[in-house]
Amino acid sequence: MAELESEAVPRTSRLRRVLSWLPGVLLLAGLVAVASHFSEGRKFALLLEQARPVWILVAVLLQAGTYVCAAAVWQRVLRKGRARCSVRSLLSIAVARLFVDQVIPTAGFGGRLLVMRALRRRRVHARLAVAAILVDLLTLYVAFAVCVLASLVIVAVLRDLSRLVLILAGLFPLFALSIPAAVLWLSAGKQRELPRWVRWIPRAGDLLREVSNAPRRLVRSKELLLEAGLLQLAIFVLDALTLDAMLRAVGYPAHPLEAFASFVFAQVAATVLLIPSGIGTFEASSVAMLALFRVPVEVALTATLLFRGFTFWLPMAPGFWLSRRELKGGRRGRS
């Protein structure tokens, strides 16, 4: 009987994970159907067929830059803690973390737990590994908040603030303020009970329980936080430029600031709603935001799907393989 119960738990967990994808998949399918209606049948497919290879190459280079910046955040913390790890040696972790964050809706916590495990494999001290992921998490949401504020200004100047924009901007502080505040509060070094809201985010409690073990001089270092924050901002800019490149690839050179605001608010929707990979929610929000800037619906959808191809589908296979290697492999030396 106990064996049957133990088998039922993983099955239930897998079923819930599959069902959690369903709303996003249905939303994405509906979005494609609506766009096909507006594009009079074949225009959507023609835009995909006529995508310009030069801008596709630009997108590849821009996305490579995001992984370098992500690895550089951890490397800066490790260097400050006198651990030798090159940016190059951490690139595989960046790809693996993206896979975990995309597949499992944990607001970034699940991927950071993988990073901690991967750093320990590289013989990084546990407390220093915790500091690296906490600085990463803290600066991520601070940079995210800066981008949201900048996007609000962009929309207000270039277009009117729509209800969608105001709703997304209103929901985001739940994450942008609470998570960094929790990290700083728990890093005071005392054993404190986790806030109740943490229970709503999968894997968040596992990570935040380790906060008190991180060296305070690293987690609260203004110089380190500023440097890491700038790298996080660079990741947002590179992602937004990738969306801009996709618009140019399909022959629609929009203003880069419009692409930036569209990407940021689409990312807000994907983060707040906690649907795996943001599938459906990201695409719908991106198309809606681009349409707000008067980009034709079929163009907006084509560019968004191309963007998602580079940021989600293309890294999926290597991310899956690398994440399994990091989770199952033995210890390796520093490099």
DSSP annotation of 106 reads S
Cα–Cα nearest to 63, from 241, 264, 300, 318: 241
pTM for the structure as a whole? 0.79
Q: What is the pLDDT of residue 86?
A: 92
Return d(Cα 258, Cα 294) in angstroms, integer.
Answer: 10
Ranges in the chain, pLDDT < 70: 1-48, 104-110, 174-214, 274-278, 329-335
* Cβ contact 270:282 at 8 Å: yes
Structure tokens at 314: 């293309």
Instruction: Delimit the domains of the chain by residue range.
Output: 2-328
Q: What is the pLDDT of residue 321?
A: 87
Q: What is the pLDDT of residue 8?
A: 43
Q: What is the pLDDT of residue 260?
A: 97
Q: What is the pLDDT of residue 9?
A: 41
Q: What is the pLDDT of residue 242?
A: 97
Q: What is the pLDDT of residue 327?
A: 74
Q: What is the pLDDT of residue 160?
A: 78
Q: What is the pLDDT of residue 19?
A: 42
Q: What is the pLDDT of residue 176?
A: 66
Q: What is the pLDDT of residue 114?
A: 83
